[in-house]
Chain A
Amino acid sequence: MILDCHCHIASHRIMPREFFSGWARTVKSNLPFHLDSAQEHRIDDLLFELNEDADCVKLLAEMDSAGIDQAVLLVIDFGLAYKNVALTIEEIHLAHKEVLQRSDRFLAFSNVDPRRGREGLDLFEKAVREWGFCGMKLYPPCGYSPDDRSLFPYYEICRELHLPVLTHTGPTAATLPFRHTRPEHVDDAAFNFPDVNFILGHAAIAHYADAALLAQYRPNIFLDLSGFQTDANRNEFKSIISWHVRRGLARKLMFGTDWPIHRFWGSQRDWVEKFAALEGESLLTGEEISNILGKNLFNILPVEGRKHAEYGT
């Protein structure tokens, strides 16, 4: 069973253009060479292309090719951070609900910016109690911290329904602030809600040592490995995984792709193969790899989500 813990619906109506502009700026600022303006525009165009799969057809084809049984679609509520998101946050949830109804290959985690107040909490409750969403997503770069008290009513619901919380950690698109993205911002929430499992998205990327420290000491903190595709292409992934394994964290690691963001660096299949190859490197046992690819996430899904995951496979 392979479960991808981190995907998004690739659509300009759901993931706004400003976000991709920011992502393009981040990518360009990382390039170790000068770009002329034509090349800058070319990179923008290529990256905008990533966001064109509103019906998840390309994603499903990639999942088939990679042997991924199911993927978690994560809602991101960009509505308060960016001005021109085409759909309301309720419509975005409904778009995810439609995908869930169309295919048993997907699970979905809800996300509502906590600054939306009571109305936002009601939408979240409806999503997780009635629409089949089986977890919560947080996107702190939109301007709030995971330890913000306004999120605690959400965590209460997560505790009641045994829903995991996957929160972005680490730097992201250049058009968003990074100040709430360090892993330590999750600690207060994880401490106050020891029965709620928190997954640190991208294992905090650049701050992976801090994220791993939290995962080592907090039983309810896990690490999502999506986003390390660029490190893999720089041949740094093995040493990062090795670092986690030496700290006994194999059972806390989860496979994720962050579709569509990292399509540029390779296919879903490439990424699965990178994990599978770790067994040959004697870094992980076959069982540990199998757990990372699916079981570690499966074990913390709520009962309904597990049934759905089993059914989908």
Chain B
Amino acid sequence: MQSTELRPDLEFARQAVAKLSSRGVKPEEIEDEMALNQDLGIDSLQFIRLILEIERQSSRRIFNVQIIAQIKTFRDLCVAITRLEAKRDPG
């Protein structure tokens, strides 16, 4: 996957993470390898809010428990979102 900085379609995820970050991180400061918990201050409860928020904004079900357990970084989150897109649009 290319850098998420170049993916305008993932901008909503960046905005949602920034909104829920307890570290006051701005959207443009979020780097791919930042850990949602340690670096961005999104605890387990806010993480639930994050996935609900992302699914609401994209109007579709994106996550399952298998995928959720693997999401550690912002990049992981974006991979989870784009994985669904890839499945829907194999071309």
Q: Which residues of A contact B (CB under 8 A)?
A: 27, 30-33, 35, 39, 42-43, 46, 49-50, 58, 229-230, 233-235, 263-267, 270
Contact = CB atoms under 8 A, between A and B. Distances in A.
10 contacts: A27-B48, A39-B52, A42-B55, A42-B61, A49-B64, A234-B44, A234-B45, A263-B69, A265-B69, A267-B69
B43 A264 contact: no
Contact of A31 (B49, B56, B63, B72): B49
Main secondary structure of the interface of B (DSSP, over half): helix
B43 A234 contact: yes
Contact of B65 (A27, A230, A264): A264
A235 B49 CA distance: 18
A32 B46 CA distance: 8
Interface of B: 37, 43-45, 47-49, 52, 55-56, 61, 63-66, 68-70, 72
A50 B64 CA distance: 9
A264 B45 contact: no
Contact of A30 (B45, B52, B61): B45
Given A43-B48, A233-B47, A263-B65, 4 more contacts: A32-B45, A39-B56, A42-B61, A233-B44
Given A42-B55, A233-B37, A233-B43, A50 B48 contact: no
B71 to A, nearest CB: 9
Contacts of A234: 43-45
A264 B66 CA distance: 8
A35 B52 CA distance: 9
Contact of A33 (B47, B49, B56, B72): B49
B34 to A, nearest CB: 16
A263 B55 CA distance: 20
